[in-house]
Every structure is written in C-alpha cells, then in structure tokens.
C-alpha cells in the first residue's frame, strides 16, 4: 500500500493511473569504495629465538653493573705480607657530622686487619666515638692523644691500646682533645703535630686511619698534613654534595702548602638504600660529580651499624656474614688495590 494515496481522494485516483515505480537499486562500482590495501611491508626474516641456555650465557658474559652504575671490577684478596710498614696514612674526612666517618674508620680498619695487615686507628675527634665504638671508655684514660700532642714527655707507646681485633690498635682520645685545637695554635709547626706524634710507629703498621672531627679546623688540617690519602664518606642523602667543594679546596691547599703527597683517594657512598629511587638518584649524582674517584663499593644502610656501637666492636666480628661486613671487606680490598696502584 502507498500511504500518500490514502490521504487525498484526487491522489488516490492518480495512483490507480500510475502504478508505483519499481524500487531504484543504486550500485556503486566496487573500486570506488573498496579501501585500497596499504602496500604490504616486507616481512623481516624472523630472528632465531634464543634458547634459555643462550640467554643465560649472554647474561653471564655482560659486565655486572655495581651500585654506582659502572661495571663492577674484581677486587682480589691481596697477597700475604711477610713484614710490615711503612704505613700508608688515610684521613677519613668530611666536615659534616653523621656521614659515616667513625663507622667507616672502625670497619675498614678491621677489614684491612683481617687481610693480615697491621692497622692503627687514630681517634682524632674529641667526642671519642671511635674509642667507644671499639669498646673503650676514653673518659677513664689517663693518657690520650691529647697528652701525646702537647706533652713532649709522653711517648706514643704509653697511649697506644690493643683492641680485641688481632692486628688492630688504637690511639684513643677524649674531650681533652678539644682543648688541643686552641693550645696548638701557639705551637711552632702547629699543623705538623700529629705527623710528628705518629712518625715513631709508622714503620710498624701497614695502614693508619685517622677518624677526623666534623670540621675543617686545625685538628683536621693536622690529619691532612699527616696523611697520604683522604677518603670522604658521603651519606646518600639529598644535601650530601654540599660542602664537598670546600673540603676539596682544603685538601688542595694542604697539598700545596704543607703536604705535596696528599691525594683525594676516594669518595665513599654510605647509608645507601638501593631500594629507593632517591638513594639511586643521589648516588648517580655523586658519580656524575666525581667520576672514578667514587669507590665502586657503596655501604648500604642497615641498623646493624648502630648496633655495633652499642656492643663496641666492628661489624666484621659482631655480624661477620652480614651485608655490612661484606661491604667493608670489599672496600678493604678496593682501598688496598687503589693504594698499591700509586
Ligand atoms: P660520623 O663519624 O661521620 O659523624 P658515624 O659513623 O658516627 O658518622 O655515623 C653516624 C650514625 O649513623 C651512627 O649512629 C652510625 O651507627 C650510623 N651509621 C653509620 N653508617 C651507617 C649505615 N651504613 N647504615 C645505617 N646507619 C649507619
Ligand atoms: Mg665520628
């Protein structure tokens, strides 16, 4: 039925005269609407799928990146020594407090002693934290480094102490040393006082490590004057790099005026947390700023270190298989390798 025809009588009649047109069929030529297929890319020859064994071999052969983002070299155990001395003197130095100077002095020292080296640790911070960390109460001592520096009648043997770690000795100090800073000002060759004090025993030790106080004052200048090498512990925190330029400047001045053999031996990343982006970023910035001066070994953040202070012994004996102990043992091999290379 045609709907329009039913509405008007006239049209209805017209309908009868003109039968409906057949439906129009529109045909569109196929080529006008068929989308042309894009030219087929030549299929690359399928790469052979590596076997698990091949993947494993490739992973083994690739250089292993250490925490500093550089390939981690091997640090072999150094050969045993048949005699000792003369000592290489290291100043553990950063004018910022709480960065791991004392912790690194104790544990690097103990780890070097484990390698059969004779090591002397020098507590050169009036807080006496190094002495405490080795289980000694420095406030009970009659003679300390202070007396050795300022009293010509006191010999180093009267002040030296053995620790519980074989091959590891200590020159203790306590708060008296804070007076030395003032008293030394009036001495002749005041910057060489520590060097003079240590010189009688340098032939008996292989390594001496001086734990500096957090300042760039006269005591620290004495440490730098007595040293061959400076190690700068840097806490892997946001402001770690602040002040390092000033420290490097002080090292250069001492080198030029007082001690030409002094070298900035290495920057040691401490309290490193590999699990945080922040930790990895700070370490990357440190490597960017100091390049190969940064030790490959980084010391991770762990509560085991504060614990060792309480028990008064190095981590190498307190938690001998811990990651902290392993890190300082690796650092010991890295430091000895660096010292031997020049
Ligand atoms: P500094 O001698 O530079 O002042 P310390 O070695 O005394 O620094 O370290 C400051 C504090 O941080 C101490 O309580 C110490 O136990 C702790 N500490 C040091 N190294 C680490 C570390 N790698 N992880 C966690 N705590 C650490
Ligand atoms: Mg300290």
* Cα of 197 from ligand 2 centre, angstroms: 21
Percent of the chain at pLDDT exceeding 90: 76
What band does 17 get if pLDDT is binned at 50, 70 and 90? Answer: low
Q: Looking at residues 161-171, what average pLDDT do you find? A: 97
Secondary structure (DSSP) of 231-268: EEEEESSTTTTTTHHHHHHHHHHHHHHT-TT-EEEEEE
CA-nearest residue, atom 27 of ligand 1 = 305
Residue 116 or residue 14, greater confidence? 116
What does the alpha-carbon distance between residue 241 and residue 6 come to, in Å, rounded to a whole number?
A: 95
**Which ligand has the shortest distance to the CA of 310?**
1
Q: What angle do CA 177, 264, 324 make, to 5 degrees?
A: 75
Pick the residue with more confidence: 310 or 84?
Answer: 84
Domains and CATH numbers, the chain: 88-340 (3.40.50.300)
| pLDDT > 70? residue 4 | no
| CB contact at 8 A, 337 and 135 | no
**12 has pLDDT over 50:** no
Q: Output b/e per residue, 146-155; b: 16+ Cβ within 10 A.
A: bbbbbeeebe
Share of the chain above pLDDT 70, in %: 87
Does residue 18 have a pLDDT over 80? no
Ligand 1, pocket residues at CB < 6 Å:
97-103, 129, 214, 270-271, 299, 301-302, 305-306, 309
Of 67, 98, 107, the residue with max ligand 1 atoms within 8 A of its CB, to mutate for a pocket test, comes to 98
Nearest to 159 by CA among 185, 120, 193, 203: 120
Which atom of ligand 1 approaches the CA of 271 most closely? 23
> Average pLDDT of the chain?
90
For residue 7, what pLDDT band results from cuts at 50, 70 and 90? very low
Cα distance between residue 270 and residue 236, in whole Å: 6
Centre of ligand 1 from the C-alpha of residue 135, in Å: 16
Task: Say how far apart CA 332 and CA 53 lie, in whole Å.
Answer: 36
* Tens of pLDDT, residues 112-155: 999 999 999 999 999 999 999 999 999 999 999 999 999 999 99
Atom of ligand 1 nearest to the CA of 308: 16
Which pLDDT score, from 0 to 100, does residue 125 have?
Answer: 97
Closest CA to 102 of 312, 259, 296: 312
Please name the helix (run of DSSP H) or strand (run of DSSP E) that holds residue 163, with its range, or none. none
- Residues 199-255 have pLDDT tens digits of 999 999 999 999 999 999 999 999 999 999 999 999 998 888 888 999 999 999 999
Q: Among 14-23, 146-155, 160-169, 287-296, where is mean pLDDT lowest? A: 14-23
Which structure tokens are listed for 331? 């650092």
Least confident range of 22-26, 125-129, 161-165 = 22-26
The whole-model pTM stands at 0.85
- The edge-to-edge listing of strands for the beta sheet with 207-212 is 161-162, 168-171, 119-124, 207-212, 88-92, 229-235, 263-270
Burial label, 131 (beta-carbon count in 10 A; 0-12, 13-18, 19+)? buried
At 154 the pLDDT is: 96
DSSP H helix total and E strand total for the chain: 15, 7
Confidence (pLDDT) at 60? 79
Over residues 196-200, mean pLDDT: 97
Atom of ligand 1 nearest to the CA of 299: 23
What is the dihedral sign for C-alpha 140, 145, 146, 150?
A: positive
| 260-272: pLDDT as tens digits | 999 999 999 999 9
Which of 95, 96, 99, 100 is the best mutation target for the ligand 1 pocket, counting ligand atoms within 8 Å of the beta carbon and taking the most?
100
C-alpha–C-alpha distance, residues 94 and 97, integer Å: 7
pLDDT, residue 24, reads 63
Give the pLDDT of residue 39: 62
Over residues 80-100, the pLDDT tens digits come to 999 999 999 999 999 999 999
If you search the block for the tokens 């270190």, which residue do you land on?
Answer: 305
The pLDDT score that the predictor gives to residue 28 is: 55
CA-to-CA dists, residue 300 to 87, 182, 190, 316, angstroms: 29, 37, 38, 15
Tell me the CA–centroid distance for residue 102 and ligand 2, in Å. Answer: 4
pLDDT value at position 10?
46
pLDDT of residue 91: 98
Work out which ligand 1 atom sits closest to the CA atom of 270: 23
Ligand nearest to the CA of 101: 1
- Tell me the pLDDT band of 19, cut-offs 50, 70 and 90: low
- Please tell me the distance between residue 248's alpha carbon and the centre of ligand 2 in angstroms: 19
Residue range 297-313: mean pLDDT, rounded: 94
Sign of CA dihedral 179, 247, 160, 187: negative
Cα–Cα dist 305/107, whole Å: 10
Question: Which residue from 305, 310, 312 has its CB within 8 A of the most atoms of ligand 1, so it is best to mutate?
Answer: 305
Nearest-CA residue for ligand 1 atom 24 is 301
Q: Which of the residue ranges 16-25, 30-39, 281-290, 324-333 would you say has the lowest mean pLDDT?
A: 30-39
Q: How far apart are the first and last CA of the chain?
A: 109
Q: What's the gap in Å between 98 CA and the centre of ligand 1? A: 6
How many whole angstroms separate alpha carbon 108 and alpha carbon 325?
A: 9
């Amino acid at each position: 039925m045609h709907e329009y025809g039913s509405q008007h009588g006239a049209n209805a009649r017209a309908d009868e005269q003109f039968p409906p047109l057949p439906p129009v069929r529109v045909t569109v030529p196929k080529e006008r609407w068929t989308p042309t297929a894009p030219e087929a890319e030549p299929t690359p020859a399928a790469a052979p799928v590596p076997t698990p064994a091949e993947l494993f071999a490739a992973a083994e052969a690739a250089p292993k990146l250490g925490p500093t983002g550089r390939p981690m070299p091997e640090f072999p155990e150094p050969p045993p020594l048949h005699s000792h001395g003369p000592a290489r003197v290291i100043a553990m130095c950063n004018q910022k407090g709480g960065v791991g100077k004392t912790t690194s002095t104790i544990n690097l020292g103990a780890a070097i002693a484990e390698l059969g080296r004779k090591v002397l640790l020098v507590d050169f911070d009036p807080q006496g934290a190094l002495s405490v960390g080795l289980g000694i109460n420095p406030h009970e001592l009659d003679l300390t480094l202070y007396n050795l520096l300022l009293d010509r009648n006191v010999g180093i043997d009267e002040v030296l102490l053995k620790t519980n770690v074989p091959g590891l000795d200590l020159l203790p100090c306590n708060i008296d040393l804070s007076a030395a800073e003032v008293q030394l000002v009036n001495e002749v060759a005041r910057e060489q006082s520590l060097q003079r004090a240590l010189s009688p025993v340098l032939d008996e030790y292989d390594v001496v490590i001086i734990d500096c106080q957090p300042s760039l004052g006269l005591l620290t200048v004495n440490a730098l004057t007595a040293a061959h090498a400076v190690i700068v512990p840097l806490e892997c925190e946001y402001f770690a790099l602040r002040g390092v330029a000033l420290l490097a400047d002080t090292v250069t001045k001492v080198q030029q005026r007082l001690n030409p053999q002094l070298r900035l031996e290495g920057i040691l990343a401490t309290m490193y947390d590999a699990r945080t982006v922040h930790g990895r970023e700070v370490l990357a910035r440190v490597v960017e700023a100091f390049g190969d001066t940064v030790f490959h070994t980084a010391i991770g953040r762990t509560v085991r270190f504060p614990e060792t202070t309480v028990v008064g012994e190095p981590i190498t004996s307190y938690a001998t298989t811990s990651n902290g102990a392993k890190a300082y043992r690796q650092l010991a091999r890295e430091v000895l390798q660096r010292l031997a290379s020049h």
